[in-house]
């Protein structure tokens, strides 16, 4: 297989793998209130860079699903929209984290365990 | 910042009205924060090129707006296989063969300008295919939006049988090529028969006029039925080569009808009429006699050949039980 094809394939699979993790990262980061730009910076600082065109629609979707609440507030003489996790969002986050830990443990066992014929 | 305002205006155009203000306010705020951060990094206000670079990196206004819209597909992955199957069936297996094998030849053969008729047929096929594509897409788009409750209710016991492997079918299987040839032959024979029946054929050789007797007209529908049945047998072989018994039953039925038809025809002669205004009556009568003897022999041979075919089909039918 050509290197370019392999690279493209890897990129697609990487994006697929990250998609679910991004939601988890956003929900976890919003246990603390952030506005969009600050949230993106905070996630990038922790190694989870996210494209703006992905983040803002995702925030709206999570809010419409009742997992986030938002409000417009003035800060540094500019109106900003602040997001934080809702009560339902906290519950969902706890369950998702539990699931994520379970998947992580299983994957570790599969990857590090002996290969069965 | 004029460039930024123009960008936001362009994004707004693609957004649903109720959310326009909210999304544009947040997007504008994010872009301004990004500009400020860049200005802080370089220590001077950004020029137009700098702002343009940020906007270019953000993406085309339509794509940015598209990210906020609900992800919808006209035909979703759940119904797509069925959609593709119906499209292939209607356009590839019904429309195209009908136009290529029936409409095209019929139009070309009966037209005074065959090349114009051919172009008309091709154009009509394209238009019919486009129309079918549109209608099928519309139906499946509706199914996508409003799926029937029963759409995905299914019973494993009702799944179709697995067609037998080639090895299991063995040498009795007839090739698809033969099937296609039979379809073409059956359709051509039907068209020729229709043409002969519509425009009674007569042949004039050196002042002698040979014409089919009116008796043939009373056999129009049975003969057409037989030629179409043979095309149907070919169609079965072409599309479902493993339906051996269905093919054999169709052939057997066509052969049985053919035997009866030939028998009826044979008992009803004369089959051709010879007229020759310039010849003596005795000569014309003799010509009539020998012409009909020839047709009688042909009918007898056809009857024997059909009988042999019918017996072979019946034996195969017994073997494939």
Would an 8 Å CB–CB cutoff place B36 in contact with chain A?
A: no
- Residue of chain A with shortest Cα separation from B63: A53
Give the integer Cα–Cα distance in Å for B321 and B310: 17
Query: How far A113 CA lies from chain B's nearest CA (Å)?
Result: 36
User: What is the reported pLDDT for B186?
Assistant: 85
Query: pTM of the full predicted structure?
Result: 0.56
Query: B30, A56: Cβ pair inside 8 Å?
Result: yes
- Residue of chain A with shortest Cα separation from B64: A53
Please state the length of chain A: 117
Query: B67, A57: Cβ pair inside 8 Å?
Result: yes
User: What is the reported pLDDT for B243?
Assistant: 83
Would an 8 Å CB–CB cutoff place A52 in contact with chain B?
A: yes
Query: Is residue A96 assigned to a domain?
Result: yes
B23 contact residues in A (CB cutoff 8 A): 56, 60
Query: Is residue A22 assigned to a domain?
Result: yes
Would an 8 Å CB–CB cutoff place A64 in contact with chain B?
A: no
Summarize pLDDT for A85-103 with one digit per residue, the tens: 999 999 999 999 999 999 9
User: What is the reported pLDDT for A70?
Assistant: 95
Query: How far B240 CA lies from chain A's nearest CA (Å)?
Result: 38
Give the integer Cα–Cα distance in Å for B86 and B137: 10
Would an 8 Å CB–CB cutoff place B68 in contact with chain A?
A: yes
Nearest Cα neighbor of B204 from B275, B109, B115, B130 is B275
Query: How far A106 CA lies from chain B's nearest CA (Å)?
Result: 30
Q: What is the pLDDT along chain B (321 residues), one digit of tens a residue?
A: 689 999 999 999 999 888 899 999 999 999 999 999 899 999 888 888 999 999 999 999 999 998 888 777 888 888 888 899 999 989 988 888 878 877 777 777 767 777 888 888 889 899 999 999 999 999 988 888 887 666 667 778 877 777 766 555 555 567 777 888 788 888 878 887 887 776 666 666 556 677 778 888 888 888 888 889 988 888 888 888 888 888 889 999 999 999 999 988 888 878 878 777 777 777 778 777 887 888 888 888 889 999 998 898 888 888 776
* Strands A68-75 and A34-35, bridge-based pairing: unpaired
Tokens at B107, concatenated: 């139009």
Give the integer Cα–Cα distance in Å for B21 and B27: 10
- Return the CA Rg of chain A: 18
Count how many domains chain A has.
Answer: 1
Would an 8 Å CB–CB cutoff place B67 in contact with chain A?
A: yes
Give the integer Cα–Cα distance in Å for B256 and A117: 62
Question: What ipTM was assigned to the predicted interfaces of this complex?
Answer: 0.79
User: What is the reported pLDDT for A4?
Assistant: 86
Give the integer Cα–Cα distance in Å for B81 and B87: 10
User: What is the reported pLDDT for A35?
Assistant: 94
Tokens at A44, concatenated: 């990038």
Query: A56, B58: Cβ pair inside 8 Å?
Result: no
Would an 8 Å CB–CB cutoff place B29 in contact with chain A?
A: yes
User: What is the reported pLDDT for A46?
Assistant: 93
CATH of the domain at A99: 1.10.10.10
User: What is the reported pLDDT for B81?
Assistant: 85
Q: Is the dihedral of CA A5, A6, A9, A10 positive or negative?
A: negative
User: What is the reported pLDDT for B245?
Assistant: 85
Burial class (CB in 10 A: 0-12, 13-18, 19+), A3: exposed
Would an 8 Å CB–CB cutoff place B59 in contact with chain A?
A: yes
Would an 8 Å CB–CB cutoff place A2 in contact with chain B?
A: no
A70: β partners: A83
Give the integer Cα–Cα distance in Å for B197 and B194: 5
Query: Is residue A117 assigned to a domain?
Result: no
Query: B68, A54: Cβ pair inside 8 Å?
Result: no
User: What is the reported pLDDT for B143?
Assistant: 84
Contacts of B112 (CB under 8 A, 6+ apart): none
A72 contact residues in B (CB cutoff 8 A): 25
Helices (H), B67-156: 80-87, 96-97, 104-110, 114-145
- Residue of chain B with shortest Cα separation from A41: B34
Query: How far B7 CA lies from chain A's nearest CA (Å)?
Result: 14
User: What is the reported pLDDT for B208?
Assistant: 66
Tokens at A37, concatenated: 């730009």
Summarize pLDDT for A19-71 with one digit per residue, the tens: 889 999 999 999 999 999 999 999 999 999 999 999 999 999 999 999 999 99
User: What is the reported pLDDT for B236?
Assistant: 87
Nearest Cα neighbor of B250 from B302, B298, B316 is B316
Give the integer Cα–Cα distance in Å for B65 and B48: 23
Domain range for residue A81?
3-112
Nearest Cα neighbor of B273 from B219, B192, B214 is B214
Query: A80, B58: Cβ pair inside 8 Å?
Result: no
């Amino acid at each position: 297989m050509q290197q370019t094809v392999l690279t493209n394939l890897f990129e697609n699979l990487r994006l697929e793998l990250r998609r679910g993790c991004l939601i988890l990262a956003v929900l976890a980061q919003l246990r603390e209130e952030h506005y969009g730009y600050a949230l993106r910076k905070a996630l990038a600082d922790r190694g989870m860079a996210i494209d703006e065109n992905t983040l803002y629609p995702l925030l709206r979707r999570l809010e419409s699903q009742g997992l986030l609440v938002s409000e417009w507030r003035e800060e540094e003489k500019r109106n900003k929209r602040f997001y934080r996790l809702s009560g339902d969002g906290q519950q969902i986050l706890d369950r998702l984290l539990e699931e994520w830990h379970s998947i992580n443990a299983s994957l570790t066992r599969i990857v590090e365990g002996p290969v069965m014929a | 910042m004029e460039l930024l305002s123009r960008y936001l205006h362009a994004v707004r155009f693609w957004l649903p009205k109720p959310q326009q203000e909210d999304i544009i306010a947040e997007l504008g705020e994010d872009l301004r924060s990004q500009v400020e951060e860049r200005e802080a990094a370089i220590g001077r206000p950004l020029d137009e090129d700098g702002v343009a670079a940020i906007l270019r990196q953000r993406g085309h206004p339509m794509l940015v707006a598209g990210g906020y819209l609900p992800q919808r597909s006209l035909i979703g992955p759940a119904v797509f296989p069925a959609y593709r199957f119906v499209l292939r069936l209607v356009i590839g297996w019904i429309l195209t063969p009908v136009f290529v094998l029936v409409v095209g030849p019929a139009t070309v053969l009966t037209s005074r300008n065959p090349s114009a008729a051919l172009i008309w047929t091709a154009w009509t096929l394209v238009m019919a295919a486009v129309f079918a594509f549109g209608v099928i897409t519309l139906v499946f788009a509706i199914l996508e939006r409003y799926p029937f409750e029963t759409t995905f209710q299914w019973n494993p016991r009702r799944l179709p049988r697995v067609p037998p492997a080639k090895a299991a079918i063995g040498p009795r299987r007839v090739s698809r090529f033969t099937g296609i040839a039979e379809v073409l032959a059956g359709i051509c024979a039907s068209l020729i028969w229709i043409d002969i029946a519509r425009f009674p054929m007569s042949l004039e050789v050196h002042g002698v006029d040979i014409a089919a007797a009116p008796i043939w007209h009373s056999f129009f529908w049975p003969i057409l039925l037989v030629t179409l049945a043979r095309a149907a047998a070919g169609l079965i072989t072409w599309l479902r080569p493993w339906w051996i018994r269905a093919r054999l039953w169709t052939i057997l039925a066509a052969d049985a009808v053919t035997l009866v038809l030939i028998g009826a025809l044979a008992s009803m002669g004369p089959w051709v009429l010879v007229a020759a205004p310039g010849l003596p009556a005795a000569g014309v009568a003799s010509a009539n006699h020998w012409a009909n003897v020839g047709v009688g022999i042909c009918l007898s041979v056809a009857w024997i050949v059909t009988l042999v075919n019918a017996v072979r089909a019946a034996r195969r039918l017994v073997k494939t039980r």
